[in-house]
């Protein structure tokens, strides 16, 4: 049986830009109409932890502390990855109106390629309203991502043979190449830009579902003011993850399976006026991870996930299905919560059983 390592992380775009710009995402959400001007201006309506993060410097000190914890999480995960020495890395991530737009939005899509030229460095321009990136390199600088053609093609064949009608793609259409969820995962695990030697099989999951065209499309200036069809159900994502684990367990490769997403997003939590995320719901998910309750994540409903603004949790639910299949247990590295910086971020591993 091939060895499998499970990992979970966030692709929050903050580390793409200097920390002084991080709080600008909130003011941009006002400009996009997600947050009302009144809710932004009236700090008395903010939860106290959010006011504390904002402080007297509009969140700059809090952003630096937040960033330090995120970077420590990525360094720890990279160390675990290097110690495991995978033959390939599978990344479940969502495409937010980047490659998949109005012509076709598949529930799942596996990328099959040898190498791909990506451009992640300018990914902070829109959310943080800045032309600067954290490395001081041109925003159109290329990042070459190695693929694993045999692994991607074999996985698609296996999934189709086992009743998952999965899309696949040999190329991308977005200027950035892969979606930012996949790009940022590779980039943040190689933040010093030394080398990321591991071939990647990116898998798209349509996490945004009914929010995709209006919310993600609206951020790109192409929004459609209607509720779009839903995301794949948690049950289907869970079973998709189980099938992925079965395929790689029978393969000749050492494989790292990575879920890439933050958890509750302020920008998706309508019940809070899209001002701050649902931290109690995130803490519940963390408790389930630590105590093995993730094995029942397939039983959650889309309504429950969307109410908490946890749309991107579908990536983690794919991983949860895979780890339930292999019997691996979760080990937390860090859980970083925030009211101000859009989302909670979880870092952890599922060591080989």
The model's pLDDT over 40-64, given as tens digits with 9 standing for 90+, comes to 999 999 999 999 999 999 999 999 9
Distance from C-alpha of 272 to C-alpha of 237, rounded to nearest angstrom: 27
CATH of the domain at 251: 3.40.830.10
Residue 147 clears pLDDT 60, i.e. is over it: yes
How many independent structural domains does the chain possess? 1
Mean pLDDT of 235-245: 98
Q: Domain range for residue 340?
A: 4-350
Q: Is the pTM of this model over 0.85?
A: yes
Mean pLDDT of 291-309: 96
Least trusted range by pLDDT, from 28-32, 73-77, 130-134: 28-32
Residue 121 clears pLDDT 90, i.e. is over it: yes
309-to-95, 126, 192 alpha-carbon distances in Å: 16, 21, 32
Tens of pLDDT, residue by residue over 193-219, are: 888 999 999 999 999 887 777 766 565
In this structure, the strands spanning 167-169 and 255-260 are: unpaired
Q: What is the pLDDT of residue 220?
A: 64
Residue 128 clears pLDDT 80, i.e. is over it: yes
Query: What does the buried/exposed string (b/e) look like for 15-53 if buried means 16 or more CB atoms within 10 Å of the residue's CB?
Result: bbbbbbbbbbbbebbbebebbeeebbeeeeebeeebeeb
- Is 205:31 a contact under the CB 8 Å cutoff? no
Closest C-alpha among 204, 195, 140 to residue 172: 204
Q: Residue 169: phi, psi to the nearest 5?
A: -145, 135
Residue 135 clears pLDDT 90, i.e. is over it: yes
Mean pLDDT of 167-176: 97
């Amino acid at each position: 049986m091939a060895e499998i390592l499970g990992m979970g992380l966030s692709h929050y775009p903050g580390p793409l830009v200097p920390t002084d710009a991080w709080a600008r995402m909130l003011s941009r959400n006002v400009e996009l109409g997600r947050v009302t001007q009144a809710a932004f201006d009236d700090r008395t309506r903010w939860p106290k932890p959010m006011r504390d993060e904002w402080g007297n410097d509009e969140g700059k000190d809090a952003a630096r502390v937040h960033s330090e914890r995120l970077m420590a999480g990525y360094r720890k995960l990279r160390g675990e990855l290097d110690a495991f020495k995978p033959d390939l890395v599978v990344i479940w991530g969502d495409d937010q109106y980047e490659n998949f737009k109005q012509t076709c939005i598949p529930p799942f899509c596996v990328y099959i390629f040898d190498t791909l030229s990506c451009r992640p460095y300018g990914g902070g321009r829109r959310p943080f309203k800045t032309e600067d990136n954290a490395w001081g390199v041109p925003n159109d600088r290329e990042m070459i991502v190695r693929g694993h053609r045999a692994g991607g093609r074999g996985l698609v064949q296996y999934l189709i043979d086992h009743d998952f009608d999965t899309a696949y793609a040999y190329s991308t259409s977005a200027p950035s190449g892969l979606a930012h969820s996949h790009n940022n995962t590779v980039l943040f695990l190689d933040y010093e830009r030394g080398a990321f030697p591991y071939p990647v099989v990116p898998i798209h999951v349509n996490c945004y579902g009914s929010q995709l065209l209006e919310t993600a499309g609206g951020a790109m200036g192409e929004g459609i003011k209607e509720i779009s069809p839903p995301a794949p159900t948690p049950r289907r994502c869970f079973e998709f993850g189980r099938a992925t684990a079965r395929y790689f367990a029978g393969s000749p490769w050492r494989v790292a399976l990575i879920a890439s997403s933050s958890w509750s997003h302020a920008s998706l939590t309508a019940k809070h006026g899209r001002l701050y995320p649902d931290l109690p719901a995130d803490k519940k998910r963390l408790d389930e991870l630590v105590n093995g309750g993730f094995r029942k994540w397939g039983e959650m409903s889309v309504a429950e996930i969307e109410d908490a603004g946890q749309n991107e949790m579908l990536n983690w639910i794919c991983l949860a299905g895979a780890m339930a299949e292999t019997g691996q247990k979760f080990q937390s590295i860090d859980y970083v919560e925030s009211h101000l910086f859009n989302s909670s971020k979880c870092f952890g591993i599922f060591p080989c059983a």
